Structure 1
């Protein structure tokens, strides 16, 4: 009945088995919803904020349930006490892992960073030391321009592929190798030799695929979206798009590309579960 956009049947909260005219509300899959959840720091902040707001309501009728929820979250961060301690912990974790903010500080302070960077092409990540020069935005995507000490070259790193960033404590002196006046154009330029793929794109996510300059769109709407034919350099180019847009972008063909994207997503889920 409700849940995440595009959610599957096992990801939804089944209220009254569809009977919305009932006088009472029954959740039939309560056991599933009661399973332990993993909260990211930002999610913890949202939950704590909501619980604290409920706690401020005079004579709140579900006080026992509310106190139980607060107790569980506080127990998860036992070295802190109470609402303020838990919130402080969650906020500190958010700040610690706020990679774009770290990059801004590094650029302004000429700080050498050690980054763990994931390459979609090689399907591997590598720790590198870089000297940040500037941040570039192309639509919703951010890029870091930095001198890479591993490659000894000025490179472009996608911020959403930087898995971790740590200041080494070293400050570098800007020189000729950091000069970066180039006008960057991040848009994908397809060629006749590239692989052609057909993507399903929900109406809400059209801009995400338009940046690939589709060679053809379906003439009529299919469900809540369209089919787009795009040129891609290799099979896994659509994988981050599919993951980021929650089922509103899907690979239709060719079969080999769809299968490789599915395998990539399965592996990403396993990596998350392992952590």
Structure 2
């Protein structure tokens, strides 16, 4: 057991121990708990800051120190067995089930054992977990996990809620991650030729391919980029050059500054749902916002601007 886990167990046991042994001396308590008197003092200082929501007088664990003795005057419920309410049991079960989707996050057998025990103790509560779970994982999650585990390419049918479209694409799985309480497959998308995140509950179908996954090595080594996420993390992003006069945009739109130039102009990235929407968005700022990437979006903005200008030309040329 790690040092953190050992101390946590000791702290959880200290309150009922001192309640069962009122006015015990620090030396006796330290010897019984297997720590030094200095460590005991640190533990007591820590417990003094723990307690119930509100975290004020009457909420926190309290002790009375008389001479060299210690006595618990308020336990904050630490001397009673843990009894989860229905919402609390549901929350713990949902969290444990979500963590099972993340390889290496925890011992799967330990998590399954904890889930079984909570379900058994919760009784009827367990039956309501499926309805209360905010993230029903698709039935194809097992295929996705197998693709990540075995490093195999995957063909998925993916529903994009922001576009209300269903697309089929071949991806090279990298890892499964948790982002904002949602489970995603991080993969190299061969269609977009870039890393994308796909919500597991929006993968309508998943088919393992008879070929190894081959994501670019830089994509595998890079950390998961969650800074650009807005609604659907599988959305594309654009790199924009924003004039100093439009600095207010950063307070209202999901922009991330990449670098600031000497003249105050900023290079920033922004996610968007469709090229059509993004083109209209950029055109509204005139020459103060320029699309640097992707080229297809820049071309679309340029063509739309040319057509708009042509409409104002005199019919006679």
Which structure: larger Rg? Answer: 2
TM-score scaled by structure 1? 0.32
TM-score scaled by structure 2? 0.28
Greater RCO, 1 or 2 (C-alpha within 8 Å, sep 6+) = 1
